[in-house]
Amino acid sequence: MSQTAELARVKVRIKALTEKTVANGCTEAEAMSAADMVGRLLERYALSMDEIEVRAARCVQAEVPMGGQRRRPVDACIPAIARFCDCKVWLARASRPKFDDENFDRTQPGSRYVFFGFETDTVLATYLFAVIDRAIMTESATFKQANPSLRAVRLRRASASFQHGVAARVSERLDAMRSARDVSVQAQRPTGTALILTRHRIVDEAFRDTNVRLVSMAAVGRRRIASAFRQGWQAGERVNLNRPMTGDTVGLIG
């Protein structure tokens, strides 16, 4: 049994999908949908991007505003998102004005996370961040409603612990999904982890050319109120990280 023609068509399709980027005029939703399908096809057919001849694909930077001066619980998910999307990530701090600096440019961007990788991957990373951020907000609101007895400092601490719990669980799930994906690819490919290694090598090489030098930073927050953290952990289980069901497949009645 041979499926050579199918594999060739899949490669052509992946290549076409990788052209669907925001830079090429697609909407963010179209680019996101294309990135999703690329990921799915690569996984199902155990292909590497190298085999699709996207070695020359440009690595790009995608920025996610930090949303203030202080890091938030959702920021704890950033490393897991980057690992899941095969991106590098760093925090670009905004420069602060000196007290007597009247010429300070206040229009420059604030602190932000920068994802670096293939455009499809960075789009996925920013999308995931938005999904998780929104989920944490929604779950926090539910948590506050469910605990009307909490007030003032206690409420703030419990809410923060809850959010840390959500972020910790989501991070763990992302890492588990990444491991499962890698194992799946490894099981299907005779060449083992070639897909993962190739993607990492391309991103690493492109990253070296950027002259960005990274330093490690402390982890975000810690558990203060164990019960709130546990509830957050459970809420993190509910965050929908699955790929969306799209297209006319929904209409196929079994």
Q: Which stretch binds other proteins (CB under 8 A): 3-11, 17-25, 103-111, 153-161?
A: 3-11
Nearer to other proteins, 188 or 191 (CB): 188
Total Cβ atoms within 10 A of residue 20:
20
10 touching other proteins, by CB under 8 A = yes
| DSSP code of residue 165 | H
56 touching other proteins, by CB under 8 A = no
88-92/59-65 β-pairing = unpaired
115 bridge partner residues: 62, 89
Residues 115 to 154 in contact with other proteins, rule: CB under 8 A: none
Strand ranges for the chain from DSSP E: 59-65, 88-92, 112-118
5 touching other proteins, by CB under 8 A = yes
Map tokens 């293939």 to a residue.
118
The contact pattern for other proteins, residues 150-189, with x = CB under 8 A and - = no contact, is --------------------------------------x-
Residues 224 to 253 in contact with other proteins, rule: CB under 8 A: 242, 245, 247-253
Rounded Cα distance between 160 and 76, Å, is 12
Nearest distance in Å: CB 247, other proteins: 7
Nearest distance in Å: CB 7, other proteins: 8
Nearest distance in Å: CB 9, other proteins: 6
Contact present, 163 and 74 (Cβ < 8 Å): yes
Rounded Cα distance between 90 and 191, Å, is 31
